[in-house]
Amino acid sequence: MISATISPKLTIPPLENGDQLTRAEFERRYSAMPQIKKAELIEGVVYMASPLRFKSHGKPHGYMMTWVGTYEAATPGVEFGDNSTVRLDADNEPQPDALLRIKVGGQSTISEDDYVEGAPELIVEIAASTVSIDVNQKLKVYRRNQVQEYLVWRVLDSEFDWFRLNEGEYIKLEPDSNGIIYSQVFPGLWLDKAALLAGNLAKVLEVLQQGLASQTHQDFVQQLAQD
């Protein structure tokens, strides 16, 4: 008589903050834990978000999504994402708070399994302060992977940094005499920095509408339609 042997049940190890994993293993563990809403792989290390507070993250995040969402609505050929996983390279799979990408002919694509692959043209992160990973490790990763514009709202510092990739380095864009910062990748994407930091969403959207009515934005829409 042949006795039956029972193999031990194979289990997928849980995803833990600080794990050092390959991107494939990170995705395997992340997919097996649907209760986790945000985890990122940065330089091969797993970072998992703590519960998010309203004033320091939820509300600023909502402002940014309203801003980029309004831009998409007026700009056929681009699309924005909210907390979408991005496969950047073998060691980095972030989940930025917001992204804006050119759908056809841009730097990134959407994979068959519905992930962003490659660097979106613009990424936004809501950071607590200058000590955050968003203005340290992530900045280096985004720069290396050619994210053209990187925006960081440092809420506790009451600051907003807009970086533009220039010859392999990020340079910080400053507001003009009217207090407006202009995207150099997405024409018409204008931001009133002071209004944003003051919580004046109506003014932020008013200035954005001025950008959307500009000739440069109209030219950009026509260019996208031809691609």
pLDDT tens digits, residue range 153-205? 999 999 999 999 999 999 999 999 999 999 999 999 999 999 999 999 999 99
Low-confidence ranges of the chain (pLDDT < 70): 1-10
Residue 91, domain member (yes or no): yes
Tokens at residue 31, please? Answer: 């997919």
pLDDT of residue 6: 40
User: Do the domain assignments include residue 23?
Assistant: no
Predicted pLDDT at 10:
52
* CATH code for the domain of 68: 3.90.1570.10
What pLDDT does 203 receive?
98
Does residue 7 lie in a domain region? Answer: no
Which structural domain, as residue segments, surrounds residue 172? Answer: 53-226
95, burial (CB in 10 Å: exposed 0-12, middle 13-18, buried 19+) = buried
CA-to-CA distance for 142 and 148, rounded, in angstroms? Answer: 8
Backbone angles phi, psi at 121, to 5 degrees: -65, -35
> What's the pLDDT at 8?
43
Whether 20 is in a domain gets the answer no
Instruction: Note the pTM of the prediction, 2 decimals.
Output: 0.90
* Per-residue model confidence (pLDDT) at position 134: 85
In a domain, 26, yes or no: no
pLDDT for 199? 97
